[in-house]
Amino acid sequence: MTIKFKTISNGEAIPIESIPHLPFDEFSTQAVEIITGGGKVVQFFAFQTDNTIRLIGVLRTDALLVATCDVPERYPALTTQCEPFHMFEREIAEQYGIIPEGHPWLKMVRYHPNCRGVDDAFGNDYNEDIPGNYDYYSVAGDEIHEVAVGPVHAGVIEPGHFRFNCIGERVLNLEIQLGYQHRGAEDLLLKADPKRLAFIAENIAGDTSVGHSLCHSQAMEALAGIQTDDGAKIIRTIGLELERIANHVGDLGALSGDVAFLPPANYCGRMRGDFLNMSLLLCGNRFGKGLVRPGGVRFPMNDDNRRDLTARVSELKPQVQHTIDLLFSTSSVHSRFEGCGTVSRSDAEKMGLVGPAGRACGLVYDVRRCFSTERYEYLHIPENAESTGDVYARAKVRADEVMQSIGIIEILLSRPAETEIIDVAEMVLAPNSFVVTLNEAWRGELSHCIITDAEGGILRYKVKDPSFHNWNGLSMSLRNTGISDFPLNNKSYNLSYCGFDL
Amino acid sequence: MTESILLWAFALLTAPLFAGVIFKVKAFFGGRKGSPLLINYYTLIKLFKKGSVYSTSTTFIFKLGPMVSLGTAATALLFLPIAGQSPVLSFDGDVIFILYLLGLGRFFTIAAAMDTASPFEGMGAAREAYFPIICEASMFMILILFYRLTGDLNLAAYFSGAQPFGFWQTAGSPMLFIIIAFFIILLTENARVPVDDPATHLELTMIHEVMVLDHSGPDFGFIEMGAFLKMFFYASIVSRLILPFDLGHPALNLALFSLGALIVYVAVGVIESIMARYRMDLVPKFVLTSFALAFFATVITLEFIK
């Protein structure tokens, strides 16, 4: 069968008419064909145009493939043939009330009414709280016990409800219910004043500010036909890598703390701060907020800053290396990390795990290498794949990435980055166009998708945080794992609640 | 007798200070300044100034838990020869009484945890009930040895005066096994790394801490104080075993004893700093090591005496 999906590139704006509009059955068959042949789902969502609801699928193989179709109110679920559509079909059902018939687990994603005001796909009453109003998956038996954790947690973290079905210390199933932080980010991006868009985008997930603002900016630039200069690209790449390092270092410390091995926990906590302070030097904000804007960056990097950053990186590099060595050479840490929370490669493929969580299971996909943006095409990004899929593998991938990212920053800092600071007041977006952007944020593939209407306004803004894929990975990790190892597994993923909840 | 009571008061007053040493050691390894040595006194004062909050689903058992656990720990110390002095109370067979007195304290802590009907506390209670069973086996193995060596069944006969040195003279090097076994029991009974992590905030991984999550204010103060005393109880025993000398003067003995206790607390702090805790299902094996050590020490020594 010839694939009728159109091949596009990352961050390329194309007219909607040029996207193949297939009959539903053909769309469905082709999409399943691509995914069963080894492809993955990047974006799969519904949008409304002229009173018809359309589905659009962005899939990836070696290239990005896109096609649309009109969707009936009820359709046979793609998930039954092909697991990676699972979360996406639930999301479509929740957002548009379109029912995928035969879906194996048709459950709400974020717990909100659909945007069309049609009957709720799940029969929920949205006046009630989530944990009390949902029939969780349950296991029966004399020795079975159920543990409910959250939505309010012991640490200063975001809200989410976790329901464990256990037999003794062993977890049979973990069900995760999120949605407590649903702010309607996608709708907000449609309604907000155009000047506010960049601010909203970079605040979708506070620990991925640079990632989200980069995805947003690339999409807007593509639609407005703006080119960024090389200097801006260098600074953006440095910003994204600093974000990666800070988060990975912080999480390696937290992993160490979770197994009660304190020295690396303390050192990493301090070093995370040092890396955040480098973002502070770059743009005045420790989390890189306000650095990336459509058109370029808002802060230049003069030679003083560059020298300062270079000095700080070379001072920190041996310290980071030493701490990672300490963590990974301690046998009691090994015994906790190894074999804990294992996800098989085939499960990872089916759930579509991305980022370090996917690479820990042997899925080598990395947006930086596969669909390079900014300066990544000039940089060497190793595959970093581990095969074991356990906490050790996830920690190892992240530790390796920290050292590689430090190397990348050193390379990027070696030459001056001259950039024109631009302040694009009003951007004119191409009408009836479509763009998808992908970037490797620290958790994995992050994607923004914009469809514009006939006037050049935003018709649909779709955000997909890597956590959207990976939360199910955490759930899978806990199968047959001791419940006392949950915090360790959770930290090895450290997924975003607000990035998922939108 | 006055000296014994004074030493008992010394134990009550200094137990929180010794526990503060652990924080300092951990801070040192972590490259931090750490909390002040007197932190535990500040915490206790803070807790006693507060009010307690009780869940409406709990009964009097919940309120009884903290009092019993503090009471039993303080009573157990009455039977312990501190710094080689004879204890305040003593009778033949008191070791078994003390073991089960501490067991009674644990029983009420567990009952209070179950009383809250929280799934976390139930899990903690299950773990807390399981691990000390193995400890009990090794404790009795050690008692068998001590009984065969001295012919007595009371703590006073084991740890007062120059007796601990007598153990070394008759049993010799197997005493090292006994010390390690005691140290493992100490770590298990007092919820330290590598068995439990007293510093974690993650309820799912806790053993002891999770059982007392619902206690607040003075009740929690009682529990903390009880824990300090229990730790001191075990540390004193190890202290007397590693420095089994009688210097002839009570003050010198007390100094030597304090030094021994300090060594034990520092060792606990060092262990918490240089290793991760074990996975929950490996903990029983670790605790069982103490039984194995005690068992071999007993076998070797008894064979030797014959």
pLDDT in tens, A124-173: 888 877 766 778 888 888 888 888 887 888 777 888 899 999 998 899 99
Tokens at B214, concatenated = 């619902």
> Do A487 and B276 count as a contact with CB atoms less than 8 A apart?
no
pTM of the model: 0.90
Q: Which of A134-138, A158-162, A236-240, A313-317 has the lowest mean pLDDT?
A: A134-138
Contact predicate A146/A164, CB 8 Å: yes
Chain B residue numbers touching A265 (CB-CB < 8 A): 30
The pLDDT mean for chain A works out to 89
- Rounded CA-CA distance B206/B200 in Å is 7
> Do B279 and A485 count as a contact with CB atoms less than 8 A apart?
yes
Residues A258 and A383 in one domain: yes
- Rounded CA-CA distance A121/A124 in Å is 8
Q: What is the 3-state secondary structure (H, E, C) of A131-198?
A: HHHCCCCCCCCCCEEEEEECCCCCCCCCCCEEEEEEECCEEEEEEEECCCCCCCHHHHHHHCCHHHHH
* Domain finish residue from A429, A446, A463: A446
pLDDT in tens, A24-65: 988 999 899 999 888 899 999 999 888 888 999 999 998 999
Chain A residue numbers touching B205 (CB-CB < 8 A): 258, 484-488
Q: Is the pLDDT of residue B294 over 90?
A: yes
pLDDT given at position A215: 93
Tokens 């974000």 correspond to what residue?
Answer: A243
Tokens at A59, concatenated = 């899939």
Residues A75 and A223 in one domain: no
pLDDT given at position A132: 63
First-to-final CA distance of chain B: 37
Banded model confidence at residue A209, pLDDT cuts 50, 70, 90 = very high
In a mutational test of the A interface, the residue from B279, B282, B286 whose CB has the highest number of chain A CBs within 10 Å is B279
In a domain, A136, yes or no: no
Torsion of CA A369, A371, A374, A376, to 10 degrees: 10
Return the SS3 of A449.
strand
| Residue A362 contacts B, CB cutoff 8 Å | no
Banded model confidence at residue B231, pLDDT cuts 50, 70, 90 = very high
In a domain, A143, yes or no: no
Residues of the domain holding A388: 209-446
Q: Is the pLDDT of residue B305 over 70?
A: no
Give the CATH number for residue A213.
1.10.645.10
Tokens 């309010």 correspond to what residue?
Answer: A152
pLDDT given at position B306: 60
The pLDDT mean for chain B works out to 90
pLDDT given at position A425: 66
Chain A segment 317-346 residues within 8 A of B by beta carbon are 330, 332-333, 335-336, 340
Q: Is the pLDDT of residue A476 over 70?
A: yes
Tokens at A296, concatenated = 């370029």
In a domain, A13, yes or no: yes
Domain count, chain A: 2
Give the CATH number for residue A73.
3.30.460.80
> Do B276 and A154 count as a contact with CB atoms less than 8 A apart?
no
* Domain finish residue from A69, A85, A101: A101
Strand ranges, E, within chain B? none
> Do B197 and A145 count as a contact with CB atoms less than 8 A apart?
no
> Do B203 and A263 count as a contact with CB atoms less than 8 A apart?
no
Neighbours of B166 (CB within 10 A): 14
> Do A145 and B119 count as a contact with CB atoms less than 8 A apart?
yes
Residues A223 and A354 in one domain: yes
In a domain, A337, yes or no: yes
Residues A92 and A234 in one domain: no
- Rounded CA-CA distance A145/A123 in Å is 28
- Rounded CA-CA distance B43/A407 in Å is 46
CA distances to A92, A228, A372, B78, B188 from A222, rounded to whole Å, are 26, 10, 15, 80, 62
Q: Is the pLDDT of residue B269 over 70?
A: yes
Which whole number is the average pLDDT over B166-181?
Answer: 88
ipTM of the complex: 0.86
| Residue A154 contacts B, CB cutoff 8 Å | yes
Beta strands across the sheet bearing A444-452: A14-15, A433-441, A444-452, A458-464
Residues A86 and A218 in one domain: no
Among B44, B286, B71, smallest CA distance to B180 is for B286
- pLDDT over 70, % of chain B: 99
